[in-house]
Structure 1
């Protein structure tokens, strides 16, 4: 999954391969400058894009879940079987603004989230 957005600015990450006497490959956000640890190799080494994306996923997974949410993501809240859509987050107050399938909006703390977007994702789409 290469579309994990930047937890700092919501930008789209990109894979970069720099070649010269050797090569350097890294993945990260060009918008704000957050990058995963690069890998360095000599000219005999083949670049490995999948390992580079895995380093990006590992870096992003260290951020709190509220920082990994983006507008339009779907979550499941406790005591409800309905999917809620993220309208926005207030990091200062630690609240997530959600809208349910009926159009009602409400704010929740992260402890009120039963399943995050990355827990809902399955092959073939969102868990039903």
Structure 2
């Protein structure tokens, strides 16, 4: 079970780190212009940067506490935070009519929930 948790944590961390850094580095206008981030049209620049920061912190929280042994309870807490992020992301996609992204949100939500439950019980 520990190996499965580490694999899922690594995958989630890679996804959230990449997505979060992109939101922090690119402007909201660049993201909207790419055509893949229609949800960002309704957001402020600060909101998009804030989401990016939460994603980066969540990615770090999935790995660092467990790897270092310093406050490992933060790993499942980070996973719970990412479950909440995906709930709001799915809601945003549904609101703008982008239902094709919702299955991805649900997969990421289930992966984060797996890590949360697995690490809380660990």
Q: Considering Cα pairs closer than 8 Å and 6+ residues apart, tell me whether 1 or 2 has the greater RCO.
A: 2
**Bigger fraction of residues in helix:** 2
For the pair shown, the structure with the greater C-alpha radius of gyration is: 1
Indicate the structure with greater strand content. Answer: 1
Q: What TM-score, normalized to structure 1?
A: 0.28
TM-score between both structures, scaled by the size of structure 2: 0.28
